[in-house]
Structure 1
Amino acid sequence: MSAREARLDPPIQPGETDPVSDLDATGRDDGTVFPQSVASGGPTPSGVLLWTRVASDARDPDEPLGVEVAPTPSFDDPPLRREIPPERLHTGSDYTVRVDLDGRLDPDSTYYYRFAYRGQKSPMGRCQTLPRPDASPDSLRLALICCQDYQNGYYGALARVAEDDVDFVVHLGDYIYESAAHQYSGLGSERYRSIRLPSGNDLASSLADFRKLYRTYMSDPHLQRLHRRHTVIRTWDDHAVGNNRYWDYEADAPVLPTHPRGDDPEFAARLTAAGIQAWWEFTPARVGYDPDADHLHDAFELYRAFSFGDLATLVLTDERLFRTPPPGAGTWRPGWFGGRSDPDQTMLGGDQRAWFLNAMRESETTWTAWANEVLFSPFQVGVGAATLRPKTDSWDGYPLARERLARGIESDATSNLVALTGDLHSYLASTMPTADGAADERRGLGPEFMTPAVTSVNLTEAVGLDEGVVGRVAGGIVSRVARAMNPHFALFDSSRWGYSVVEFTPEESSYTAYAVDKTVDSADASRSVVARLRVPTGGVEPRPMERRSG
């Protein structure tokens, strides 16, 4: 069995109306039966994956789980109904369940769903299918989110996304942080919320720890509302397992540089496997997962693509599982000064790189969007001989790999490429460089739009200059300095938190960046527009749009 074939639940059969008595119940769950609510992901033109989790202390070994799907929120039209056998609820998956509706729904359509168990109905969720491959959508709107450290703020931004008129949500990584002791904070950070791991450790050290983190994060009402309202396409980043992780090809094992046991190959491999399993259990995604594979690289195949008619293709890559060490890894010497990298360095690994370039080559849609976890564009601080590359965990730490990938994209004549990026906890818009380094209005691979952190520490918070007038002044200075040192940047802001929305039409792609107050635990947290930029079809450089309030 291949990784892509493993571990997918059997689909609901069309017209199946099992007599699920619990679906006729009137009880509304208060969170005791479905504590993480419901979610959907893995969209296709004819289906989605539905997800829920039943509380362990609510489980009855003889009680089946019911699920109901309908085209209207009233569920008056004949719904799809299915009874899920009791044995599907078990400790081996932490009582999580996914239901695959592929082949059972209509293209480009909205559906409503709910689960029922022991006389209680879950909250109602809403899901969305993809357009047909030969469809010609007028537009595609994607909300972009990332980096939602539970301990470093509240999720007002996610509540705002829940209410936004978007087609899908793309989560670019760091859905959870592996920390429980406020490790990822700065001089200006407050301690908003606490977590205690089963192991008692400050960093996740077991499958039980990762499960606790997902259960905690997904208990947040604003995150639950987002999942109920939108189908979410998710990738991952380093904190799904360990900060700044990479693969040591000599030891043939992952390395977790900031974990107390992260340099122990056996421990790091076990913990990476645990992080993968927990991600899979709590993420409704159509990815390859084979826990019995002989090698971790064969156990998890995160990279995949989605097509939205002839308008856009979304390509997701995994930039953590296969990457070689960044410059200076395992030594006292920082890699900030850049220079040429080891010719054997890779970000994607050979197989994924070949897959990615093939996806670029075969894309026949107007736009090709790349869900790219870490910054592709160069980011420098200083001038002349004093120039530093402060983010060697990004593609700056892999300049030859970036150059080779850019050359491959250019040789495939990929047009209208747009990178959608997270990780840096900043708003950023830039022109990605060609293989020879060109990045201006005439030459470049295309625009790169970075979405900010929902809550995670940004630059001004890290140095304690994020409050009031001082914060606004410091943020403005940092923005101007960063753009002056990086002329290919059209936007840089590392003083606020929030999310962004990208929209694709046959004529242009646009990016709207929103700031949302993370200091208040409210669905009405204040929101403002940070920037609006656009790139016309055939263009490569983001340009400002007329600014409006919102």
Structure 2
Amino acid sequence: MLLNRREFISLSLSTLYLLTHNLEALAGDAVEIFDLGIASGDPTQDGIILWTRINPNIHSKLNKDLILEISQSPEMKESSVIKIPGDKIIKERDYTIRLTIDNLKPGKTYYYRFSYADVPSMIGRFKTLPAGNVENYRMGFVTCQNYADGYFTAYRHLANEDVEFILHLGDQIYERIYGKARVPGRDLAFPSGHSIALDLEDYKYLYTTYLSDKDYQLARAMHSFIYIWDDHEYANDYSFDYEKGFYKLPKHPFENDREKVLNLRKAAILAWHFYTPSRAKLNLNAQNPLEWITIYRDFKIGELAHLICLDERSYRTPQPCDKRYASSGCEDQYKTSMLGENQKFWFYEKLKQGNSWKIVANEVQFVQGKINGLYGSLDAWDGYIKERQEIIEFLNKNNINKFVALTGDRHAGLIAEIPTEFKENYEKIVGVEFMTPAVSSISAAEANWWKDYGVKDADEYAQLEIKQNPWTKYLSHRVWGYSILDIDKSSAKCQIVSVNKYKKDSDKEIAATYQYIPGNGLVKF
């Protein structure tokens, strides 16, 4: 897909140089050697994680050293050079390399590239987080990218956006094959021969397939990513059974086999770690499965904002009541926990730090969503009502109203105020929720999830949800793409960008833009 003239004109010279160079690299020898591209992740004020993989077929024959260059020039002038010996590129990590780079300067743009057998990779770009006084900041956020459900064209447009980093809210892969692909050339087949990932090789197959997408590679080269995960990186709708000490995997082949469930968990963690540039902590030798990986972590954006990344899957108790969708609810909604005690304590401590914007990477819908007396999903925060209300009361008690929940999971675009009480004539709000649509995953408009609510289609469902849940100001099941968050000292603005997942060369459109000013609520642009 080529950039259109308007996009070229809007780009800075350094960005234009980089995009032109990388589009050429994606068509050259670098593709064969760096078959999954390059990436950076988890920026701090003075550091970054850099990542790549060498094609196993090539490295097994050549066993060459890998060279990394880092520069403040897109032309890679005056570079610092690091050599990674060939014997460090090993099969046990699927020939991936991750490097922690420190002693960088805050708020600066850096460029990097790898070279192997004298063949350079694309040139990557990342920005360290700023320190001190920051007037404004811009980040992208994405979620839910089922490879078989559509093209990743959204990433080509996101690569061109002027953002500091991209927050990925989970479902980077899907652990199950849901039948024939919805677009040509995207069919999947697990090494195990099953329709669901059952071992490490299956998970590795998913990551290497998803990361082979050139639009995704371009976005990962052009911007740093901060990743959390949702459920499909492991198993759909999973939760933790604290009494039995292992994970519940509903309708999974391993559902009742503790050993297989835990072995699969380790495989999912390893695969995520191989291909995701992240500072998440691993401890796979711990006796307690809850300690095998710690994904929740935080990032300071100067004095302006504090990004708090949550893990709303690994510690949650099982979803309550009779069914996930179209449930009238039950008492168990007041006995569940989404975060677990340790993470919740950590979360509250982070919320109390300073008076900056609290930007929360939140996997599942936070605000209440009921249609005709039935909850939309008890897998979301509606299934964890007591804990949600505890968080809202904590925000209210501590006078925190610069609170923004960035949400994925639902495969829809949603913008809502967060009231102190979910009632028709609510009087006070403590923040907002900005939900980004899926990059490509199937939406309610393509399925029949809405039938259980007595409505004729997904559009009527959306209209009723807005009407019956007045804090929700925007909802669409017919949008795919990504979102942009702009924050300054007085406001937070979200722009939902729609990109047709069925076309490789589709343009982008602005689906919705809303601004939040604490004390005044949401305003539509």
Distance 2:359 2:301 in 1: 11
Q: 2:498: which partner in 1?
A: 515
1:460 pairs, out of 441, 445, 450, with 445
Compared CA separation, residues 529 and 358, structure 1 to 2 (3 A): same
Compared CA separation, residues 332 and 284, structure 1 to 2 (3 A): closer
Distance 1:426 1:373 in 2: 13
Q: 2:513: which partner in 1?
A: 532
Identical-residue share of aligned pairs (%): 32
Q: 2:305: which partner in 1?
A: 312
| Kept after mapping to 2: 8 A contact 1:28/1:120 | no
Query: How much does 1:404 deviate?
Result: 2.0
Deviations 1:446-479 (A, max 9, x none): 11000001111111111399xxxxxxx9565333
Distance 2:324 2:428 in 1: 35
| Kept after mapping to 1: 8 A contact 2:169/2:228 | yes
1:423 aligns with 2:404: no
Distance 1:427 1:356 in 2: 26
| Kept after mapping to 2: 8 A contact 1:513/1:529 | yes
Deviations 1:225-274 (A, max 9, x none): 10011011111000001111111112110111132223322211111111
Compared CA separation, residues 167 and 57, structure 1 to 2 (3 A): same
Q: 1:340: which partner in 2?
A: 331
What secondary structure does 2:475 align onto? strand
Q: 2:436: which partner in 1?
A: 451
Gaps of 5+ in 1: 1-26, 466-472, 546-550
1:480 pairs, out of 460, 463, 482, with 463
| Kept after mapping to 2: 8 A contact 1:44/1:102 | no
Distance 2:171 2:151 in 1: 15
Compared CA separation, residues 476 and 73, structure 1 to 2 (3 A): same
Distance 2:324 2:477 in 1: 26
Query: How much does 1:181 deviate?
Result: 4.0
TM-score (norm 2): 0.89
Query: How much does 1:138 deviate?
Result: 2.1
What secondary structure does 1:535 align onto? strand
Alignment map for 1:314-463 (pairs within 5 Å): 314-328=307-321, 336-341=327-332, 343-365=334-356, 367-382=357-372, 387-434=373-420, 436-437=421-422, 442-463=427-448
Distance 1:501 1:56 in 2: 36
Q: 2:31: which partner in 1?
A: 31
Q: 2:16: which partner in 1?
A: none
| Kept after mapping to 2: 8 A contact 1:431/1:440 | no
| Kept after mapping to 1: 8 A contact 2:368/2:422 | no
Compared CA separation, residues 333 and 176, structure 1 to 2 (3 A): closer
2:196 pairs, out of 183, 192, 203, with 203
Q: 2:116: which partner in 1?
A: 117
1:233 aligns with 2:213: no
Query: How much does 1:437 deviate?
Result: 3.5
| Kept after mapping to 2: 8 A contact 1:197/1:209 | yes
Query: How much does 1:333 deviate?
Result: 9.0
Query: How much does 1:28 deviate?
Result: 5.8
Query: How much does 1:37 deviate?
Result: 0.7
1:144 aligns with 2:144: no
Distance 1:498 1:155 in 2: 9
| Kept after mapping to 2: 8 A contact 1:316/1:371 | yes
Query: How much does 1:344 deviate?
Result: 4.2
Letter in 1 for 2:105: D
Query: How much does 1:516 deviate?
Result: 0.7
Letter in 2 for 1:415: N
Letter in 1 for 2:217: Q
| Kept after mapping to 1: 8 A contact 2:324/2:378 | no
Deviations 1:474-505 (A, max 9, x none): 56533322211211111010112111111001
Distance 1:220 1:190 in 2: 14
Q: Which moved more, 1:439-448 or 1:310-319?
A: 439-448
Distance 2:142 2:510 in 1: 15
Query: How much does 1:337 deviate?
Result: 1.1
| Kept after mapping to 2: 8 A contact 1:174/1:236 | yes
Aligned residues: 493
Q: Which moved more, 1:489-498 or 1:477-486?
A: 477-486
Query: How much does 1:406 deviate?
Result: 2.1
Query: How much does 1:287 deviate?
Result: 1.3
Alignment map for 1:468-507 (pairs within 5 Å): 476-507=459-490
1:179 pairs, out of 151, 176, 180, with 176
| Kept after mapping to 1: 8 A contact 2:438/2:480 | yes
| Kept after mapping to 2: 8 A contact 1:326/1:335 | no
Hey, which bits of structure 1, 4+ residues long, moved more than 6 A? 331-335
Distance 1:81 1:64 in 2: 13
Q: Which moved more, 1:298-307 or 1:474-483?
A: 474-483
Distance 1:335 1:363 in 2: 40
1:107 aligns with 2:88: no
Letter in 1 for 2:171: D
Distance 2:96 2:519 in 1: 45
Letter in 2 for 1:528: E
Query: How much does 1:341 deviate?
Result: 2.2
| Kept after mapping to 2: 8 A contact 1:440/1:488 | no
What secondary structure does 1:32 align onto? helix
Distance 2:458 2:82 in 1: 53
Compared CA separation, residues 482 and 190, structure 1 to 2 (3 A): farther
Name the Cα RMSD after superposition. Answer: 2.2
